[in-house]
């Protein structure tokens, strides 16, 4: 289905380019507000934003380190 000419013509499949030069295709965002659809981007890696979220919630670095040492967070 990804290679179907009608799917390609309607822009139903988008491409995500990664920082390492690789890319992959996936369904485009079905909602479009304006002339251009939103840009596709990669999903966050597992635990990528854990420290930032915990800092926003008021945890200090000592507590975050303790949680990481115990295996509670990645």
Say if residues 47 and 74 touch (Cβ distance below 8 Å). yes
Tokens encoding 28 = 């485009």
Among 16-20, 39-43, 52-56, 68-72, the least confident range: 39-43
Greater pLDDT, 45 or 68: 68
- Positive or negative: CA dihedral 29, 32, 36, 41: negative
Q: Which helix (H) or strand (E) holds 67?
A: helix 61-69
Q: What pLDDT digit, counting tens, does each position of 26-36 carry?
A: 888 777 777 77
Greater pLDDT, 4 or 54: 54
DSSP-derived letter for residue 3 is T
């Amino acid at each position: 289905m990804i290679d179907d000419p009608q799917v390609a013509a309607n822009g139903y499949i988008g491409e995500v380019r990664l920082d390492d030069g690789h890319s992959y295709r996936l369904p485009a965002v079905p909602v479009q507000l304006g002339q251009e659809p939103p840009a596709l981007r990669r999903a966050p890696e597992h635990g990528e934003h854990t420290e930032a979220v915990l800092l926003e919630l008021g945890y200090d670095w000592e507590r975050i380190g303790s949680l990481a040492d115990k295996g509670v967070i990645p």
